Amino acid sequence: MPAPCSSLMNRASQAERSLSQLVRTAATWVALLGVSFCAKATPLRPGNGNEVLERVRSAPLDASARELRMARQRLSAEPNNLELAIRFARLAIERNSVEGDPRYLGRAQAALSPWWDREDIPSRVLVLRGMIRQAQHDFKHALADLDLAVERDPTDAQAWLTKSAVLAVTGDYEKARQACIPLAQLAPGLISLAAAANVSCLNGDAERGCAVLRTALSNPAQPDSRERVWAFTILGEASRRLGREPEAEACFKRVLELAPRDVYALGAYADLLLDQGRARDAARLLSDGERADALLLRLALAESLLRPIPSNFAMHTNNLAARFQEGHLRGDFVHLREEAQFELSLAKRPAAALRLAQENWVIQREPADARLLLECARQAHDKQAAAPVLEFMRRTHIQDEQLNRLTESLEP
């Protein structure tokens, strides 16, 4: 399958991607980079000295941001102190999930760099490496790290949990379920329950998965709101797939009450609203979401459906195009799903979108990826391209009304 500029293998093995290859493909990107650089505004000199240029933490008294800074200061004094490095890396990974800012992943990796490539990498660093790689969509290497981590220490709940999540994202539900067994034994509670329920919901047992989540969430004794956020998000997405849109919406609203800035829940809720044709609601929901690609994409999608088209729409699509191009130059491959969606729905290039969706399908196989590939295949009039997804759906018994509808539209 020809890729637009670099082969799939290059994307998949980012670490091995040599610079010389990059230089060869660079010519292709020169024109694109021109767009990328041009998409930026002209540099200016602010007229008012008190003009706020940047917000480096969400709240002035954000305790965890201060904690992270303290950790960094201590680490910079002793960069080879394993305990300090692990502490900083954990805090940084946490910040990534809260802020949706993957900068923190790079910071975490830098903190762990003295041990990162070592043959005798400490087990705790190994787990963190797996988590960082997973968050960067390097699922293959993440899984290798996590396999080794649980082999070294079968009682490491975090390793089992992350392993289960990677396997679920890549569509390997049987192994994901198996990873949930030791997790449930090591760390009983809402987390392990939700991890297992998530697999069930994807693997043909959605009713039971939802029931388990509902029961667990109805128990007011669950202390940690973060755990509830996660469980509600899983329930909301499963409900949406089952066509229970009011329940799904209620779940997402609960999540946003608990965590108003939760990037993933905002995206999932916006998807639901877009499915329902509520573009104005989606645009309103995401009005503050320009920083995260996934949210900016959905915002632009919503804007494209509004009449009159909002004045910011052109800027938002330009920014998206610029960011995808930057990602290519950087050698990232985390944005394939978004880029395929962009090509399909905003750039209206179904053939290019299909290629990206196919590349993406090799790396991740969540319901959204399946849906994207089917939609691309339909619009590109390439039924053959849909075959892997249809086979996957048959094999996993996934329950998803949108996927079923798309499958029907693909039937002759």
Partner 1 sequence: MNTPQQKPVPSRVRQWLGSALFTACLVASITPADAHNQSTAFLTIHAETRRLDVEWHIALRDLEDAIGLDTDDDGLITWNELCSRRDAVCAYALSRLHVKEHSIPLVLHFNDMLVDHHADGAYAVLRFQADRPPVAGTFSLDYGALFDIDSKHRALLRLDHGDKTQVAVFTPEHPDQEFELGDNHSQVVPFTSFVREGIWHIWTGYDHILFLLALLLPGVLRFERNRWEPVTAARPALFHVVRIVTAFTVAHTITLSLASLGVLHPPARWIEAAIAASVVLAAVNNLRPVVRESSWVVAFAFGLVHGFGFANALRALELQTGQLALSLFGFNLGVEVGQLAIVAVFMPLALSLRRLLFYPKVVLEFGSACIALIASGWLAERLLDVKWLPF
Residues 367-406 that bind partner 1 (CB under 8 A): none
Instruction: Using CB under 8 A, count the residues that bind partner 1.
Output: 125
Give 29 or 313: the residue with its C-beta nearer to partner 1.
29
The contacts of residue 228 (CB under 8 Å, 6+ apart) are 190, 217, 222, 254, 258
One character per residue 331-350, x = contact with partner 1 (rule: CB under 8 A): xx-xx-xx------------
Residue of 6, 10, 192, 399 that binds partner 1 (CB under 8 A):
192
Residue type, 197: A
According to CB under 8 A, which residues from 123 to 152 bind partner 1?
131, 134-137
Q: Which of 313, 373, 363 is nearest to 340 (CA)?
A: 373
The contacts of residue 108 (CB under 8 Å, 6+ apart) are 88, 89, 90, 92, 93, 96, 128, 132
Using rule CB under 8 A, residue 185 touches partner 1: yes
Task: Give me the least distance between CB of 385 and partner 1, in Å please.
Answer: 21
Task: Give me the least distance between CB of 409 and partner 1, in Å please.
Answer: 25
Distance CA 171, CA 77 (A): 43
Give 222 or 304: the residue with its C-beta nearer to partner 1.
222
Give 109 or 396: the residue with its C-beta nearer to partner 1.
109
Residue of 11, 12, 107, 400 that binds partner 1 (CB under 8 A):
107
Contact 191, 230 (CB under 8 A): yes
CB-count exposure of residue 48 (10 Å: 0-12, 13-18, 19+): exposed
Give 200 or 407: the residue with its C-beta nearer to partner 1.
200
Give 268 or 390: the residue with its C-beta nearer to partner 1.
268
What is the DSSP secondary structure assignment for residue 372, as one 8-state letter? H
Residue of 145, 293, 303, 400 that binds partner 1 (CB under 8 A):
293
Contact 99, 62 (CB under 8 A): no
Distance CA 29, CA 375 (A): 27
Task: Give me the least distance between CB of 411 and partner 1, in Å please.
Answer: 30
Distance CA 91, CA 63 (A): 12
According to CB under 8 A, which residues from 51 to 90 bind partner 1?
51-60, 62, 64-65, 72, 90
One character per residue 195-234, x = contact with partner 1 (rule: CB under 8 A): xxxxxx----x--xx--x-----------x-xx-xx--xx
**What token pair was written down for 136?**
């960067």
Residue of 115, 232, 264, 342 that binds partner 1 (CB under 8 A):
264
Distance CA 158, CA 127 (A): 8
Contact 294, 263 (CB under 8 A): yes
Give the range of 190-198, 306-314, 373-381, 402-410 binding partner 1 by CB under 8 A.
190-198
Give the range of 243-251, 278-286, 293-301, 351-359 binding partner 1 by CB under 8 A.
293-301
Give 262 or 303: the residue with its C-beta nearer to partner 1.
262
Distance from the first to the final alpha carbon of the chain? 25
According to CB under 8 A, which residues from 270 to 289 bind partner 1?
none
Give the range of 276-284, 294-302, 373-381, 393-401 binding partner 1 by CB under 8 A.
294-302
Report the 10 Å Cβ neighbour count for 249: 18
The contacts of residue 173 (CB under 8 Å, 6+ apart) are 167, 199, 202, 203, 396
